[in-house]
């Protein structure tokens, strides 16, 4: 039943990894979260997405460089090599908590989208059925997961391309509409910076959460065939595509309708399509949104199970989590994550919706901590490379230091923002608990070594 060699199988193809990174980043962050960023910053949120995209490129490039310099090592392994047990312990468990929360919320969102067609069926049951399907997919060989994620991501990307094309046709008057002067929407209604520079800065937490998931490349590298050859192309392609798929749609939304008319009730994409008056638009967009959240949940199960597996290999988690099935799947990690997800789905159902919205601020914080640790690990490990990788970050160490400083400023700014007091408090409590546990576990490891 279980593989004695305890290795993950290299079943992911280059297109799988590329679309996994896209799937992790292109989800509810753009389809739903864009309404939040527009309400916070107005049209100037495009600047936040551009700066976030630049930071994303540095982080992914640093991760790819280390993955080539140290083959068969993923994010958690690299942090452990750079900073040792305690930092690896904090980063690993924070990342697992991050993706567990994200996965739970995505599954709840999937249930709510299904209620559009099945209003009489309760949310908990639809979310439970979605969880069974997604967990079942991850129990097959990794190539099947990669193939399904490829098609999930394809649907999202096709929808975004269609939106960009349709939006451009509307803006340039090819398709008749009520839009008289689209350029005026960028400067009217308070101007390009309706809430000032502070509004643009405030949008960064949602932007960073939206871009979170790109680091899946660093987790999937240990299961990728010919990683050294394909990784540089995957990194460059994924980053440019994500920047395009975020910035173009935001510009189109702001051009077609005033930013202050974008409500949080529906996705801005649904609002734009509805304004066109195409028949069946609501059903099409609901299907796209459903595949988007299922795709993100699918990535979440993959990320959490592989994180537990790599932590077990590094001694950060119990060794039993390093066991894999005969198909090369970390079965124990998937089961533990599944139990947590099912419990959280039930708790989320019986608790007020405000609690979930507060919890959703945690992934934004944990993603920034993870990204800072990736850049810091590159600074530490670059002098230790035995063989220089073919793909390296340009203008090192200045680009990496720039990313660390920028992410730290964003992180500190949000920790002291009164609007984020609940999320900041929860994040600090989780960090405090993990720090205490890291000291306890380190002491246990030392006692085992000296015994």
Give 173's DSSP letter: T
Span 210-238, average pLDDT? 66
Structure confidence at residue 23 as a pLDDT band (50, 70, 90): low
Which residue, chain included where needed, has tokens 């392994």?
Answer: 77
Could you tell me the sign of the dihedral formed by the alpha carbons of 264, 267, 273, 274, in that order? negative
Give 222's DSSP letter: G
Could you tell me the sign of the dihedral formed by the alpha carbons of 208, 209, 210, 216, in that order? positive
Structure confidence at residue 225 as a pLDDT band (50, 70, 90): low
Residue 2 has pLDDT above 50, yes or no: no
Report which of 213, 215, 217, 221 is spatially closest to residue 70, judged by C-alpha positions.
Answer: 221
| Mean of pLDDT over the chain | 76
For the ranges 176-180, 417-421, 433-437, the maximum mean pLDDT occurs at 433-437
Higher pLDDT, 354 or 272: 272
Q: Count of CB atoms within 10 A of residue 419's CB? A: 12
The reported pLDDT for the residue numbered 401 is: 93
Structure confidence at residue 58 as a pLDDT band (50, 70, 90): confident
Tens digit of pLDDT for each residue in 267-314? Answer: 677 777 666 666 677 788 788 888 888 888 887 888 788 778 877 877
Copy the structure tokens of residue 427.
Answer: 């994040």
Copy the structure tokens of residue 445.
Answer: 């490891």
Residue 21 has pLDDT above 50, yes or no: yes
Tens digit of pLDDT for each residue in 66-104? Answer: 877 887 777 777 888 888 878 888 888 888 888 888 888
The reported pLDDT for the residue numbered 402 is: 93
Provide φ and ψ at 396, rounded to 5°.
Answer: -65, 140
Copy the structure tokens of residue 323.
Answer: 């066991």
Tens digit of pLDDT for each residue in 399-427? Answer: 999 999 999 988 888 777 777 777 778 88
Q: Quote the pTM value.
A: 0.77
Span 415-441, average pLDDT? 81
| Nearest-angstrom CA–CA distance, 417 and 367 | 18
Span 213-223, average pLDDT? 61
Residue 3 has pLDDT above 50, yes or no: no
Each residue of 328-355: b (16+ CB within 10 Å) or e?
A: bbbbbbbebbbebbbebbeebbeeeeee
For the ranges 139-143, 173-177, 338-342, the maximum mean pLDDT occurs at 338-342
| Nearest-angstrom CA–CA distance, 87 and 83 | 6
Copy the structure tokens of residue 57.
Answer: 């490129």
Span 199-220, average pLDDT? 72
The reported pLDDT for the residue numbered 357 is: 60
Structure confidence at residue 5 as a pLDDT band (50, 70, 90): very low
Tens digit of pLDDT for each residue in 156-171? Answer: 778 888 888 888 887 8
The reported pLDDT for the residue numbered 73 is: 75
């Amino acid at each position: 039943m279980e593989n004695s060699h305890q290795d993950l199988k290299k079943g992911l193809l280059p297109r799988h990894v590329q679309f996994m990174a896209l799937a992790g980043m292109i989800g509810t962050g753009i389809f739903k979260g864009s309404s939040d960023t527009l309400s916070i910053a107005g049209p100037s949120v495009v600047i936040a997405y551009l700066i976030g995209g630049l930071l994303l490129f540095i982080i992914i490039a640093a991760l790819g460089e280390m993955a080539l310099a140290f083959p068969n090592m993923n994010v958690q392994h690299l942090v452990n090599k750079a900073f040792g047990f305690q930092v690896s312990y904090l980063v690993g468990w924070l990342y697992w908590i991050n993706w567990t929360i994200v996965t739970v919320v995505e599954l709840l969102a999937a249930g709510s989208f299904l209620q559009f067609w099945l209003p009489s069926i309760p949310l908990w049951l639809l979310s439970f059925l979605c969880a069974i399907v997604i967990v079942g997919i991850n129990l097959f060989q990794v190539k099947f997961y990669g193939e399904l994620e490829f098609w999930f991501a394809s649907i999202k990307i096709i929808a975004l391309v269609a939106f960009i094309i349709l939006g451009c046709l509307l803006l340039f008057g090819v398709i008749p509409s009520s839009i008289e002067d689209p350029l005026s929407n960028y400067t009217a209604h308070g101007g390009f910076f309706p809430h000032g520079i502070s509004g643009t800065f405030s949008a960064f937490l949602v932007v960073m959460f939206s871009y979170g998931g790109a680091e899946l490349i660093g987790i999937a590298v240990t299961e990728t065939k010919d990683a050294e050859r394909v990784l540089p192309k995957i990194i460059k392609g994924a980053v440019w595509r994500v920047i395009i798929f975020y910035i173009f749609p935001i510009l189109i939304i702001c051009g077609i309708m005033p930013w202050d008319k974008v409500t949080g009730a529906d996705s801005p994409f649904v609002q734009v399509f509805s304004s066109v008056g195409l028949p069946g638009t609501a059903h099409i967009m609901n299907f796209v949104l459903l595949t988007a959240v299922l795709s993100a949940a699918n990535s979440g199960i993959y990320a959490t199970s592989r994180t537990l597996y790599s932590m077990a290999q590094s001694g950060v988690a119990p060794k039993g989590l390093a066991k894999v099935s005969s198909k090369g799947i970390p079965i124990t990690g998937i089961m533990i994550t599944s139990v947590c997800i099912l419990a959280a789905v039930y708790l989320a159902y019986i608790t007020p919706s405000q609690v979930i919205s507060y919890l959703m601020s945690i992934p934004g914080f944990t993603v920034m901590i993870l990204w800072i640790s990736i850049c810091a690990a590159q600074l530490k490990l670059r002098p230790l490379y035995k063989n220089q990788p073919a793909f390296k970050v340009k203008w090192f160490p200045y680009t990496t230091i720039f990313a660390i400083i920028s992410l730290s400023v964003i992180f500190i700014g949000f920790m002291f923002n009164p609007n984020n007091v609940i999320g900041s408090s929860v994040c600090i409590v989780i960090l405090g608990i993990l720090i205490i546990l890291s000291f306890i576990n380190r002491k246990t490891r030392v006692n085992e070594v000296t015994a």
